[in-house]
């Protein structure tokens, strides 16, 4: 059995490559927020209270454009709705945890922490201490996001031009998703979701992403049902 | 409403979304297809993030033979499938992007 400490550091280690994409993203967020005339403490609070990258960018962009405050809240909510799917996906593995653990890990449930944690949860080994892995991965990402935001706020971001941020993040997701595609139904689900995601790219507030995910999941279920 | 209130409410809603099923799945009975569907969540959601990201350059959709990200992404998929190694996949993908960018520059 792996100890709590081993699980925690395994989570930290597995999250590390993803930071290549996340730290520059946080730097840019800090810089963008200051340029949008958001005060430094408020910008930092966005990273620690909302703690969801793309929605923070959208919110920062909307502040100062005269959009109603209620609209900003609604948009952040919409953009982050995909986290409900992550929540449902990790929930069966978190049954045995105390409420404090559930609240803490829910706070840390970002795209990047989810991607490595669900991969680990699905490995067929002893699950007793896997929440420590989740904590290690989640805290690593959290710390990076806070520090990089602060750095962006106070020093500003000077990244090389055309630094392909989104591309690097995609590479890490590819590395996590592809090895998990072990059967026909999963492959069909992934390919369908990817194609629908491109077709619905123009939809606002990540509605396209949600639609693509749902259609992908349904297609996976259909293929699986037919095989039985 | 102050900006602080906006952030606090946005944060609460985001946290609530993340917490939703972690708390609820213990208390409610969800149908069997819902449980089976969970298996496909990572593949579906992450793929729906990946391909649109590869297919866009400077926030504009570019599904053409001139988009180097598509070639580099395809090679990264191959690398991930063969090696199952995150760091190696990133290295292969980044190197491929640089090479294809240089090659496609001429067209």
Q: In this structure, are B55 and B93 located in the same domain? A: yes
A212 contacts in chain B (CB < 8 Å): 44, 48
Torsion of CA B100, B64, A183, A110, to 10 degrees: 80
Once rounded to an integer, what is the mean pLDDT over residues B80-107? 88
What total of structural domains would you count in chain B?
A: 2
Under 8 Å between Cβ of A189 and B46: no
Nearest CA in chain A to B2: A69
User: Is A114 a residue whose pLDDT tops 90?
Assistant: yes
A85, A166, A214: residue with CB nearest B53: A166
User: Is B107 a residue whose pLDDT tops 60?
Assistant: no
Give whole-number Cα distances, B82 to A44, A175, A179, B89, in Å. 40, 10, 8, 10
Burial A61-97 (b: 16+ CB within 10 A, else e): ebbeeeeebeebbebbbbbbbbbbbbbbbbbebbeee
For residue B9, what are the domain limits?
Answer: 1-39
Once rounded to an integer, what is the mean pLDDT over residues B10-33? 93
A199 touching B (Cβ < 8 Å) = no
Averaged pLDDT of chain B: 91
Under 8 Å between Cβ of A150 and B60: no
CA A57 to chain centre: 14
* Minimum mean pLDDT range among A4-13, A52-61, A113-122, B69-78: A52-61
A172, A180, A181: residue with CB nearest B86: A172
User: Is A29 a residue whose pLDDT tops 80?
Assistant: yes
Once rounded to an integer, what is the mean pLDDT over residues A147-166? 82
Once rounded to an integer, what is the mean pLDDT over residues A101-129? 95
Provide the pLDDT for residue B72: 96
Q: In this structure, are B50 and B94 located in the same domain? A: yes
Q: In this structure, are B19 and B48 located in the same domain? A: no
Q: In this structure, are B9 and B33 located in the same domain? A: yes
Residue tagged 């829910």 (tokens): A106
Q: How many CB atoms lie within 10 A of CB A23?
A: 18
CA A48 to chain centre: 14
CA atoms of A24 and A180, how far apart (whole Å): 27
Nearest CA in chain A to B15: A107
CA-nearest of A130, A127, A87, A131 to A110 is A87
CA atoms of B44 and A121, how far apart (whole Å): 17
**Do A55 and B10 count as a contact with CB atoms less than 8 A apart?**
yes
**ipTM metric:** 0.90
For residue A178, what is the DSSP state? Answer: G
Once rounded to an integer, what is the mean pLDDT over residues A80-107? 96
pTM for the complete prediction?
Answer: 0.87
A46, A169, A180: residue with CB nearest B7: A46
Once rounded to an integer, what is the mean pLDDT over residues A116-125? 93
Optimal mutation site among A167, A185, A207, interface B, most CBs of chain B within 10 A: A167
Q: In this structure, are B1 and B45 located in the same domain? A: no
Confidence of residue A14 (pLDDT cuts 50, 70, 90): very high
The dihedral built from the CA positions of residue A68, A71, A76 and A77, taken in this order, carries a sign that is positive
Once rounded to an integer, what is the mean pLDDT over residues B77-101? 93
Q: In this structure, are B12 and B51 located in the same domain? A: no
* Minimum mean pLDDT range among A162-176, B42-56, B66-80: A162-176
Q: Which residues contact A204 (CB under 8 A, 6 or more apart)?
A: none
Q: What is the pLDDT of residues A145-154, one digit of tens each?
A: 999 999 999 9
User: Is A160 a residue whose pLDDT tops 80?
Assistant: no
Residue tagged 């201490």 (tokens): A129
Once rounded to an integer, what is the mean pLDDT over residues A72-95? 94
Q: In this structure, are B97 and B68 located in the same domain? A: yes
Q: In this structure, are B30 and B67 located in the same domain? A: no
Q: In this structure, are B23 and B45 located in the same domain? A: no
Confidence of residue A82 (pLDDT cuts 50, 70, 90): very high
**Do A91 and B90 count as a contact with CB atoms less than 8 A apart?**
no
CA atoms of A216 and B48, how far apart (whole Å): 9
User: Is A50 a residue whose pLDDT tops 90?
Assistant: yes
DSSP of A71-114? HHHHHHHHHTTHHHHHHHHHGGGSTTS-HHHHHHHHHT--HHHH
Provide the pLDDT for residue A193: 97
Provide the pLDDT for residue B47: 95
Greater confidence (A15 vs A161) lies with: A15
Q: What is the pLDDT of residues A179-225, one digit of tens each?
A: 989 999 999 999 999 999 999 998 887 889 899 999 999 999 999 98
Greater confidence (A129 vs A162) lies with: A129
Provide the pLDDT for residue A161: 63
A83 touching B (Cβ < 8 Å) = yes
């Amino acid at each position: 059995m792996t100890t709590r400490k081993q699980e925690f550091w395994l989570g930290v280690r597995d999250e590390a490559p993803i930071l290549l994409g996340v730290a520059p993203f946080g730097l840019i967020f800090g810089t963008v927020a200051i340029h949008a005339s958001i005060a430094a403490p408020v910008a930092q609070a966005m990273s620690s209270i909302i703690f969801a990258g793309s929605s923070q960018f959208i919110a920062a962009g909307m502040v100062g454009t005269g959009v109603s405050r209620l609209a900003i809240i609604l948009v952040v909510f919409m953009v982050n709705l995909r986290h409900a799917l992550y929540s449902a996906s990790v929930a069966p593995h978190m049954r045995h945890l105390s409420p404090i653990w559930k609240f803490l890990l829910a706070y840390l449930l970002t795209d990047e922490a989810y991607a490595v944690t669900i991969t680990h949860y699905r490995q067929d080994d002893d699950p007793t201490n896997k929440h420590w892995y989740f904590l290690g991965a989640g805290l690593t990402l959290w710390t990076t996001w806070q520090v990089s935001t602060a750095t962006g706020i106070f020093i500003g971001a000077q990244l090389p031009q055309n630094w392909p941020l989104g591309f690097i993040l995609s590479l890490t997701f590819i590395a996590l998703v592809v090895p998990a595609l072990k059967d026909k139904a999963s492959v069909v689900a992934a390919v369908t979701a990817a194609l629908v995601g491109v077709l619905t790219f123009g939809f606002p507030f990540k509605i396209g992403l949600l639609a693509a995910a749902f259609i992908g999941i349904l297609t996976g279920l259909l293929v699986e049902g037919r095989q039985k | 409403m102050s900006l602080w209130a906006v952030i606090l409410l946005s944060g609460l809603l985001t946290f609530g979304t993340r917490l939703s099923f972690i708390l609820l799945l213990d208390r409610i009975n969800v149908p069997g297809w819902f449980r089976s569907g969970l298996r496909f969540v990572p593949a579906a959601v992450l793929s729906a993030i990946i391909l649109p990201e590869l297919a866009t350059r400077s926030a504009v959709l570019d599904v053409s033979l001139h988009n180097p990200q598509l070639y580099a992404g395809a090679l990264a998929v191959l690398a991930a499938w063969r090696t199952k190694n995150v760091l190696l996949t990133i290295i292969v993908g980044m190197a491929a992007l640089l090479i294809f960018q240089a090659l496609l520059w001429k067209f």
